[in-house]
Amino acid sequence: MTHADAMAAPSSLDHCPLMPNYGAPSILLVEGSGTEVWDNTGKRYLDFVGGLAVQSLGHANPEVAEAITVQANKLVQVSNLWATEHAAPVAMTIDRHLGGGGQVFFCNSGAEANEFAFKLARKWAGHGRFGVVTTFGSFHGRTLAALAACGQPDKHEPFAPMPEGFSHVARDDADALAVALTDSTAAIHLEPVQGEGGVWPSSLAFMAAARALADERDLLFMVDEVQTGLCRTGEWFAYQHYDVQPDVVCLAKALGNGFPIAAVWAKREVAACLEAGDHGSTFGGNPLATAAARKVLEIMERDDIVGRARSLGNQLAGALAELPHAESVRGMGGMLAVELDGPIAKAVATRAATSGLLVNPITPTALRLTPPLTTSADEVEEAMALLGDVLDTTEVPA
Ligand SMILES: Cc1ncc(COP(=O)(O)O)c(C=O)c1O
C-alpha cells in the first residue's frame, strides 16, 4: 500500500509503509510552482513554509529544473576520486560571498555539514581540544553529534547517552559563554538566528563577544547558516548583519533549492589542517547537485534575491503585526515569526491549511513564515487576508 492509499483510507494507516517519525501528515502535495502548491485533490495552497526555508527561488523553478535535467542526461555521479565540472565554480561563488580566502567541502544535508564542522574543529585544535559550545534552543540536525550540539535537552533524552564534548549556554549570555569555554574547547558554534528554536536573532553584542572570545582563547568561531544562509535574512549570510567574520560557515537548505546539497566553508588556514582521507562523502558535491547549486547561485546574484528578501520581509512583518492575536513579530528578512497571545499556533496552522495557506507552528504560541523569497506582493496580501480570517475566528482557550 502506498502512503497516498494509506492516507485515503485512514483505517489502514497501520499499513503505511513510511516510519512514524514525521507523525501522520494530512496533506499529500503533488505539484508546485513558485509559492503555490497543489495537493492530490487539486486543491491550491500558498506555501509560506517553503520547504522549511529551502525553496528560496520557488517550487519547480524552471531554470533550476532545466539545469538538473540537462546535467541528469550528462553525468550524475562519479565519486570524489575525480574532479567534476561545477564543484569548483560553486565553491568559488560561495567563497566570494563569504569574504574570500576560504575553501569549501560539499556534502548532502545540514546535519552532515555540522558533523564535518565538528570534525574540522577537532582536527584544527589538536588532540585534547574537542569541545563545542552552542546555545540553548539551538538546532543543528538529527545525527548523533549534531543532535548533541542542539541546545534542546528534550530531544537528547530518548537517545541518551549523547556523544561527549558538547555544552550549551543561554543565547545572548556572553558571560555564560566565557565561563563555558575550557581548556578542552575547540569551537563556538552559533546560529545567528535560531530557526527551529523559534526564530530568535542573536544580539549584536553576543555575536561580537563570541568572536572576541574565540580570538582570545584561540578557538574557532563557527556559524550554522543552514537555514539563514543564502539570502534568507536579507543578507547573503545572516552573520553579515553583525560586524563579525566567522572562521567556519555551514550552509545547506537553499543551496540546491530543494535538490540535496550542503557545504562547509572554512578559512584556508583552518582547512589546511586536513589531509587526504580525513573526511569524505560518496554523494557530496556530485555533478547533479552542484549543477543545481550553480544555477541557484547564478539566479540569486542576477535577480537580487537579497533585495527581494528584504522587501518581502518588510511587507510581511508589517502585515503580521496587524493580524488579530499578534503580540509581536521577530526575525530578519524572509525568516519571520509572529508571536500570538495564546497557545493557538497549531490550531491556526491547521485551519489556515484548510483555507489554503501553509504556515509552520514553530512553538505553541508562534507561527514561523519562511516563504519563497520570490513571493509576490499580491501573494503576501492574499496570504495575510487568509491568515487574518482564520485568526479572527480563533479563540484563545481559557
Ligand atoms: C540551523 C540548522 N542546522 C541544521 C539543520 C539540519 O539540516 P538537515 O535537516 O538538512 O540535516 C537545520 C534544519 O532545519 C537547521 O535549521
Atom in ligand 1 nearest the alpha carbon of residue 228: 1
pLDDT in tens, 264-310: 999 999 999 999 999 999 999 999 999 999 999 999 999 999 999 99
Angle at 183 between CA 243 and CA 141, to 5 degrees: 60
Asked if residues 45 and 353 have their Cβ atoms less than 8 Å apart, the reply is: yes
* CA Rg value for the chain: 21
Atom in ligand 1 nearest the alpha carbon of residue 260: 10
pLDDT(190) > 50: yes
User: Ligand 1: which residue has its CA nearest to atom 7?
Assistant: 110
Residue with cell 568572536: 211
141 C-alpha vs ligand 1 centroid, how far in Å?
5
- Residue 228 neighbours by CB under 8 Å, 6+ apart: 191, 192, 193, 195, 237, 238, 332, 335
Question: Which long-range CB contacts under 8 A does 196-199 form with residues at least 24 apart?
Answer: 196/139, 196/227, 196/362, 197/137, 197/138, 197/139, 197/151, 197/152, 198/137, 198/337, 198/362, 198/363, 198/366, 198/368, 199/330, 199/331, 199/335, 199/336, 199/337, 199/362, 199/366, 199/368
355 C-alpha vs ligand 1 centroid, how far in Å?
29
Asked if residues 230 and 251 have their Cβ atoms less than 8 Å apart, the reply is: yes
192 C-alpha vs ligand 1 centroid, how far in Å?
13
What are 11's three cell numbers? 483505517
- Residue 212 neighbours by CB under 8 Å, 6+ apart: none
How high does pLDDT run on average in the chain?
96
Atom in ligand 1 nearest the alpha carbon of residue 250: 3
Ligand 1 shell residues, CB under 6 Å: 52, 109-111, 114, 139-141, 191, 195-196, 224, 226-227, 252
Confidence of residue 7 (pLDDT cuts 50, 70, 90): low
Whether pTM > 0.75 for this model: the answer is yes
Question: CATH number of 24-53+306-392: 3.40.50.2300, 3.30.420.40, 3.90.1150.10, 3.40.50.360?
Answer: 3.90.1150.10
- 153 by Cβ neighbours in 10 Å (0-12 / 13-18 / 19+) ranks as exposed
- Residue 233 neighbours by CB under 8 Å, 6+ apart: 192, 193, 241, 309, 313, 331, 332, 333, 334, 335
For the chain, the distance separating the N- and C-terminal CA atoms, rounded to the nearest angstrom, is 42
Domain ranges, ordered by start, for the chain: 24-53+306-392, 63-302
Asked if residues 201 and 170 have their Cβ atoms less than 8 Å apart, the reply is: no
Atom in ligand 1 nearest the alpha carbon of residue 138: 1
Q: Which of 196, 261, 370 to mutate to test the pocket of ligand 1 (most atoms within 8 A of CB)?
A: 196
pLDDT(10) > 80: no
Asked if residues 199 and 337 have their Cβ atoms less than 8 Å apart, the reply is: yes
Residue with cell 543564502: 230
pLDDT in tens, 117-170: 999 999 999 999 999 999 999 999 999 999 999 999 999 999 999 999 999 999
Helices 305-321 and 377-392, interaxial angle, to 10°? 20
> Looking at the domain that runs over 63-302, which CATH code has it been given?
3.40.640.10
Residue with cell 582570545: 216
Q: Which of 227, 239, 259, 332 to mutate to test the pocket of ligand 1 (most atoms within 8 A of CB)?
A: 227
For residues 24-38, average pLDDT = 96
196 C-alpha vs ligand 1 centroid, how far in Å?
8
**DSSP SS3 for 74:** coil
